[in-house]
């Protein structure tokens, strides 16, 4: 474990005992302490309640003393269990000796960290290690009970973690970087398709926990580096994949390392995005979650566009916008502040609004940023708003987006018309208009896969898309449509490529060659 000292993290299990992690893993699997086993045992409502940091339903569902019930109470609900009972299904001596368990009261043991079963994309049984009470929900999680969270606390899997894991392009690569690794969840995913994984964090406790997550999940160890942003990397180190779910929260002061970047406003997110450009190999992807400010008198799209480093294509999707009050409340609750002293809560809330006022921030955008290093003379930056549900995982959709972009970039209108296209799978047409009206007011094409986009088209666009099965060139299809509707084929060929480009860009049509 390069550069990670046990002295700073005395209460964590030893990261230098892989043989104990392997034994523990075997015992956990034998007891069905897996994502599926957990869901079966708890049932969907109690399972979902845990994600909201509500433990009562799970406690009620684990009142028996089967191995699985005992493990859930130990590793997810911070309940001590009888030493003798635990010894029947866990290597309890080795676990106590190496620090996974600690003696608790007469004849009982307690877990020193949370361990959450986590299912990988191909059915892998993984485990995410985190600080006690932080396997689910935020730092205001179950073990905190309203106490102030420790600045160095390491959280487990949150919605943001799984979102980033889902949008990440998963093609085999040589070198991947997980910046701000936390529990190690992104590094664990990357270890499945990257030969080498480097994981960095400002918080040494996070690196220690990442080593535990990887070992307990049976994944190869990562190269762990302590430090801020790109600082732990040598000048010549570049990657094929960079992922980061950075501490993106825009807050008045650096209080919690896992979420408060500690730079002013959205500067930390900007630094991560800008810094990634020179760390990417050609064709390599960098994917981030980020928050950005909506500042009075400024177009948010211009702000975020200005972050894109030179030599990179970018696809930026704003998924949500919150006004400053919603935003402050979200993160106050995340830290459990709402359960503490009311005067403190109000003072913190006030400070948050002061900060936004000083920066002229009206709202905060949340979204995904994907960069791809390109040799193209004119990189393409797409910024859009898509707040609607999507179909995760989206990694292949992201890859296909950039492939279509390459196609459009290298095909002028004449080449586009000479090309053939295919309607993407599961695209349907919807007609929108008043009930009973003879003609629809407009026609919408809707995707049922990937981004699940919907876009308005005119009758030519709808007819064109419907005929695209990869057999006829776009120009031939337009000529046929022109004849059908009695329009001049030359003018139709002239005005339609823009619409075809949009349909290709958005994934309704795919180049057939």
Ligand X SMILES: C[S@@+](CC[C@H](N)C(=O)[O-])C[C@H]1O[C@@H](n2cnc3c(N)ncnc32)[C@H](O)[C@@H]1O
Note whether 185 binds ligand X by CB under 6 A: yes
Closest by CA position to 171, among listed 145, 198, 192, 202: 192
φ, ψ dihedrals at 241, nearest 5° = -145, 130
Please report whether residue 164 would count as binding ligand X according to CB under 6 A. Answer: yes
Q: Does 206 bind ligand X (CB under 6 A)?
A: yes
Which range touches ligand X (CB under 6 A), out of 50-58, 175-183, 338-346, 416-424?
175-183
Q: Are 58 and 79 in contact (CB under 8 A)?
A: no
Nearer to ligand X, 253 or 433 (CB): 253
Contacts within 8 Å (CB) and 24+ apart, 73-76: 74/101, 74/109, 74/110, 74/111, 75/33, 75/111, 75/114, 75/115, 75/116, 75/135, 76/38, 76/50, 76/114, 76/115, 76/116, 76/135, 76/136
Residue with Cβ nearer ligand X (116 or 259):
259
CB of 278 to ligand X, least distance (A): 17
Q: How many alpha carbons lie under 13 Å from residue 313 in its C-beta half-sphere?
A: 22
Report d(CA 70, CA 80) in Å as an integer.
Answer: 9
Can residue 292 be called a binding residue for ligand X (CB under 6 A)?
no
Q: Tell which positions 142-161 bind ligand X, by CB under 6 A.
A: 161
Distance CA 229, CA 200 (A): 8
The kind and range of the H/E element at 270 are: helix 267-276
Between CA 5 and CA 161 the distance in angstroms is: 26
Q: 142 in helix, strand or coil?
A: coil
Member of 21, 139, 188, 202 binding ligand X (CB under 6 A): 202
Site residues (CB under 6 A) for ligand X, limited to 336-395? none
Tokens 């919603």: give the residue: 326
x-or-dash string of contact with ligand X, 228-257, rule CB under 6 A: xx---------------xxx---------x
Least distance (Å) from ligand X to the CB of residue 52?
17
Q: Does the protein bind ligand X through residue 258 (CB under 6 A)?
A: yes
Rounded CA separation 26/31 (Å): 9
Q: Looking at beta carbons only, is 31 or 179 nearer to ligand X?
A: 179
Minimum CB separation of residue 271 from ligand X in Å reads 8
Residue 267: CB minimum distance to ligand X, A: 11
CB of 452 to ligand X, least distance (A): 24
Residue 182 as a binder of ligand X (CB under 6 A): the answer is yes
CB of 313 to ligand X, least distance (A): 24
Q: Does 181 bind ligand X (CB under 6 A)?
A: yes
Which of residues 258 and 307 has its CB atom nearest to ligand X in the complex? 258
Output b/e per residue, 56-90; b: 16+ Cβ within 10 A: ebbeebbeeeebbbbbbbbbbbbbbbebebbeebb
Q: Which two tokens stand for residue 305?
A: 């566009």
Q: Which is nearer to ligand X, 261 or 265 (CB)?
A: 261
Query: Per CB under 6 A, does 203 bind ligand X?
Result: yes
- Give the Cα-Cα-Cα angle 444, 446, 451 (nearest 5 degrees): 135
For position 186 contacting ligand X by CB under 6 A, the verdict is yes
Task: Kindly report the number of other CB atoms within 10 A of residue 310's CB atom.
Answer: 8
Shortest Cβ distance from residue 156 to ligand X (Å)? 8
Closest CA to 28 of 101, 106, 121: 101
Q: Which is nearer to ligand X, 20 or 175 (CB)?
A: 175
Which window, 66-74, 85-93, 182-190, 482-490, contacts ligand X (CB under 6 A)?
Answer: 182-190
CB of 308 to ligand X, least distance (A): 20
Cβ 224 to ligand X shortest distance, Å? 12
List contacts with ligand X (CB under 6 A): 161, 164, 179-183, 185-186, 200-203, 206, 228-229, 245-247, 257-259, 261
């Amino acid at each position: 474990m390069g550069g990670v000292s046990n002295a700073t993290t005395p209460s964590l299990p030893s990261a230098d005992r892989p043989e104990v992690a392997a034994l523990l893993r075997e015992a956990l699997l034998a007891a069905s302490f897996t994502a599926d086993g957990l869901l079966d045992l708890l049932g969907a409502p109690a399972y979902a309640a845990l994600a909201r940091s509500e433990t009562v339903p799970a406690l009620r569902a684990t009142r028996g003393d089967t191995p699985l019930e005992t493990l859930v109470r130990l590793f997810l609900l911070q309940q001590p269990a009888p030493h003798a009972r635990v010894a029947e299904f866990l290597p309890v001596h080795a676990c106590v000796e190496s620090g996974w368990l600690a003696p608790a009261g007469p004849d009982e043991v307690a877990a020193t960290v949370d361990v959450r079963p986590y299912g990988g994309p191909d059915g892998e049984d993984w485990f995410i290690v985190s600080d006690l009470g932080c396997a689910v929900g935020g730092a205001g999680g179950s073990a905190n009970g309203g106490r102030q969270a420790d600045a160095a606390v390491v959280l487990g899997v949150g919605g943001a973690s799984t979102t980033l894991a889902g949008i990440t392009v998963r093609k085999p690569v040589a070198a991947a970087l997980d910046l701000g690794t936390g529990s190690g969840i992104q590094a664990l995913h990357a270890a499945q398709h990257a030969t080498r994984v480097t994981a960095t964090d400002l918080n040494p406790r996070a690196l220690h926990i990442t080593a535990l997550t990887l070992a307990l999940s049976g994944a190869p160890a990562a190269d762990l580096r302590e430090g801020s942003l790109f600082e732990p990397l040598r000048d010549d180190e570049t990657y094929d994949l960079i992922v980061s779910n950075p501490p993106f929260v825009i807050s008045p002061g650096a209080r919690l390392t896992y979420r408060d970047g500690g730079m002013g406003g959205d500067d930390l997110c900007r630094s991560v995005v800008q810094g990634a450009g020179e760390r990417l190999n050609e064709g390599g992807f960098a994917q981030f979650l980020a928050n950005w400010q909506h500042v009075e008198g400024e177009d948010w799209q211009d702000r975020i566009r200005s972050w894109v480093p030179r030599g990179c294509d970018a696809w930026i999707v704003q998924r949500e916008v919150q006004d400053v009050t919603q935003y402050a409340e979200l993160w106050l609750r995340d830290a459990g502040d709402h359960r503490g002293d009311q005067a403190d809560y109000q003072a913190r809330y006030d400070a948050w609004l002061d900060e936004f006022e000083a920066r002229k921030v009206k709202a905060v955008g949340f979204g995904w940023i994907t960069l791809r290093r390109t040799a193209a003379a004119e990189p393409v930056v797409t910024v859009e708003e898509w707040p609607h549900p999507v179909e995760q995982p989206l990694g292949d959709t992201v890859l296909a987006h950039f492939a279509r972009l390459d196609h459009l970039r290298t095909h002028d209108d004449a080449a586009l018309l000479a090309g053939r296209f295919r309607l993407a799978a599961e695209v349907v047409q919807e007609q929108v208009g008043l009930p009973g009206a003879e003609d629809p007011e407009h026609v919408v094409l809707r995707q049922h896969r990937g981004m699940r986009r919907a876009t308005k088209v005119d009758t030519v666009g709808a007819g064109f898309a419907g005929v695209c099965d990869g057999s006829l060139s776009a120009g031939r299809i337009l000529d046929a449509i022109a004849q059908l509707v009695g329009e001049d084929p030359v003018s139709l060929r002239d005005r339609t490529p823009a619409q075809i480009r949009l349909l290709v860009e958005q994934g309704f049509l795919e180049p057939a060659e």
